[in-house]
Structure 1
Amino acid sequence: MTSHRILSWTPAAIVFDCDGTLMDTERHWQDARELTMTDFGIVPAADFAERSKGLHYTQCGQLMADEAGRPELGGELTAGLLGHFRALVAKNPQTMPGAREMVANAAKFAPLAVASNCPRDVVETCLRNADMLDYFDHIVVPDDGNRPKPHPDVYLTAARYCGAAPEDTLAVEDSSCGVEAAARAGLRIVGVGPWPGEEVAASVDLWVSSLAEPAIFDWASKRVVHQLSV
């Protein structure tokens, strides 16, 4: 990793992932996957949770169908997965440690966007409930013009909407799928969460355990001071 490329730098824009980065919703996806597979009597392989993390929900639904040897059930499993997830998020929306403070500081010195594999309404509802939605200039999700992560499309589009070149834009991500997307888009990357292993970490500039970690909190605070002094 090249942490100095982050900690001595002021990006022209910052693009955040949502699930597991800003919002503590990855556990909701895990629960939704388990509930959906129980509904359909599917017993997944031991590594299914890791393989499914960060995937677009349609890809996850199809992965579950393939896991069951019933690829024709992809649409039904996707619908069940999304239904369970929406219900779980509505009951218990939670932010990740340091997320709100990081976003509030970052919004003072750079335009912000979210690039997520989630449906737009889910992202907007989560951020609104967390009092963070107004900080973001753009929400970018897969649609007819943007393929889901790990394709780079949502990150490239988010940087463009913010008026920044990819190489001048910072991505904040928690999953290997998202890191791959941001790396392919040419953004610098801060990874957040449990240590992902050397292979994923090799693609990021800085890895922190949470957005409350002093290194990243101090970096954002100093960027604010710098902007106010110029």
Structure 2
Amino acid sequence: MTPPLRTLSNWSPEAVVFDCDGTLMDTERHWQDARNRAFREFGLLPPPGFAERAKGVHYVDCGRLMAEETNKPELAADLTTALLAHFMSLVAEDPLTMPGASEMVRLLSGRLPLAVASNCPLEVVEESLGRAGLRRHFHHIVVPGVPPGDRVEGDSGKDAERPQAVRPKPWPDVYTTAARLCGARPETALAVEDSLTGIESAWRAGLRILGVGPLPDDGNTGHADAWVPALDRPEVLGWVRNWRPASLPGAERDHDRHRPL
């Protein structure tokens, strides 16, 4: 049974952590196109149902899965490299946001700490959000598997966090880290996700979860607390407008740093 939005309607989060692909950015189709291009590059055919199995999967794991399911395990590294190269090219050509994503981020900017928790490489997330004009609204970006001590500056001067030994979704690490960096206990933070892989990650981290997008084929919404077809639905934006503002730390209280989109 699909959980309705009213299951969260009387609750206000202290921080919001967004997935990127398919939640903020309309890039799931880019990943699908990139997978198809990589398959063709090596003369392979996508196995039936592969797109659904690959949704939300870290791109390195996806490259390995592509090789395994076509009985070419020796091509795992080459398929992974080709997959990422094709995806980056497609994003550069067509950086579109998902319906309602920009408006929801704009409504929250300066009111709550915002973060992104993604299975993509940091440069992919930065490029996607930067081209869409969204990067400056996020206090933190958390991605898997980056060496310790690395901090890079985004467009607005906010740090993009690159922590050590962060495992990809469905491990909880990206969401656990994002909530901590936002200064919120996991149970007080909201994850916004479009894939069952991401929902599993956020649930294991202890966040409450808003699922968004088309329902999975089998109707299984996993551990999502609520599910909506898109973020531009009036009931979603009305709910967001009524949230209590959180106390942002330090300079983040300065709303001038959160310019409108």
TM-score (norm 1): 0.94
Equivalent residue letter for 1:163: G
Equivalent residue, structure 2, for 1:181 = 201
Equivalent residue, structure 2, for 1:24 = 26
Where do 1:114-193 residues align within 5 Å? 114-143=116-145, 144-193=164-213
Where do 1:1-230 residues align within 5 Å? 1=3, 3-143=5-145, 144-196=164-216, 200-223=220-243, 226-227=244-245
State whether residues 23 and 212 of structure 2, in contact with CA within 8 Å, keep that contact through their aligned partners in structure 1. Answer: yes
Structure 1 residues 167 and 5: alpha-carbon distance in aligned structure 2, compared to 1, 3 A threshold:
farther
- Pick the structure with more helix per residue: 1
Gaps of 5+ in 1: none
State whether residues 36 and 81 of structure 1, in contact with CA within 8 Å, keep that contact through their aligned partners in structure 2. Answer: yes
Q: Deviations over 1:20-47 (max 9, x none)?
A: 0000011000000000001111122211
Say what the alpha-carbon RMSD is for the aligned residues: 1.5
Equivalent residue letter for 2:220: V
Partner SS for 1:200: coil
CA distance in 1, matches of 2:137, 2:171: 25
CA distance in 1, matches of 2:187, 2:218: 23
State whether residues 150 and 181 of structure 1, in contact with CA within 8 Å, keep that contact through their aligned partners in structure 2. Answer: yes
CA distance in 2, matches of 1:197, 1:44: 19
Equivalent residue letter for 2:173: D
Partner SS for 1:8: coil
Runs of 4+ in 1 over 3 A off after TM superposition: 2-5, 197-200
Shift of 1:109: 2.4
% identity of equivalent residues? 54
Equivalent residue letter for 2:127: T
TM-score (norm 2): 0.83
CA distance in 1, matches of 2:49, 2:102: 32
